[in-house]
Chains A and B, each alone.
Chain A
Amino acid sequence: QSVLTQPPSVSGAPGQRVTISCTGSRSSIGAGFDVHWYQQLPGTAPKLLIYGSSNRPSGVPDRFSGSKSGTSASLAITGLQAEDEADYYCQSYDSSLSGWVFGGGTKLTVL
């Protein structure tokens, strides 16, 4: 069981908007630690999508955005495209574990 909780799956039609939640605790997200999001296309290594809860690395489309509030964070994807079909993981730090933690991952299906 992952320290950060994500929905196992989400889906949306092309052009729609979807959000993926990531729920932590007072010792992780709630303690103020940054949340990062990764996209993992089938058979490939994870790729950084959002860092510092809401920042996009160079090259990541602005269709992807992140936010954080309290003990949770969210990834939003607007204008869904077929190429967005992938697994998405959130990641933070947990002070009670003294280590970095990942969510269980969310599989995005583009209908």
Chain B
Amino acid sequence: QITLKESGPTLVKPTQTLTLTCTFSGFSLATSGVDVGWIRQPPGKALEWLALISWNDDKRYSSSLRSRLTITKDTSKNQVVLTMTNMDPVDTATYYCAHRRTSGPVVYAFDIWGQGTMVTVSS
């Protein structure tokens, strides 16, 4: 059974750097065809894809946020970390991590999501 769980601060100040950790179980990011992505959702608004890291360490970023994002993985700890610099109140959102695969059943979609973690940006 695949599970993911996001963790990190609930409150950050403007201009600070946000670091979020996605801890997962039931799969390995060392397995060919496996990805983990980050998606956020401001209160009452739509989902927005942020970043994705693949089993082979390929990294992809939203073009609008590329300069502020870094995604890394620690395969031994079953964790993916997302950092976002220069936080602003408009970055207030629930941040989700999600599993994706490019081979096997249920390909290409974000098929399993974490519960999400709410981050508020305020001084």
Whether B109 sits at the interface, judged by CB under 8 Å, is yes
- A interface secondary structure, majority: strand
Knowing A46-B96, A102-B48, A105-B46 are in contact, say whether A36-B63 is a contact too (CB < 8 A).
no
Knowing A89-B46, A89-B47, A102-B47 are in contact, say whether A48-B63 is a contact too (CB < 8 A).
no
- Indicate with 1 or 0, residue by residue over B103-123, a CB within 8 angstroms of chain A CB atoms: 000111111111110000000
Q: How large is the interface on A (under 10, 10 to 19, 20 to 34, 35 or more residues)?
A: 20 to 34
User: Which residues of B are found within 8 Å of A24, using beta-carbon distances?
Assistant: none
Q: Is the CB of A99 within 8 A of B60?
A: yes
> Chain B interface (Cβ within 8 Å of chain A)?
37, 39, 46-49, 52, 60-63, 96, 106-116
> Chain A interface (Cβ within 8 Å of chain B)?
2, 34, 36, 38, 44-48, 51-52, 55, 57, 89, 91, 97-105
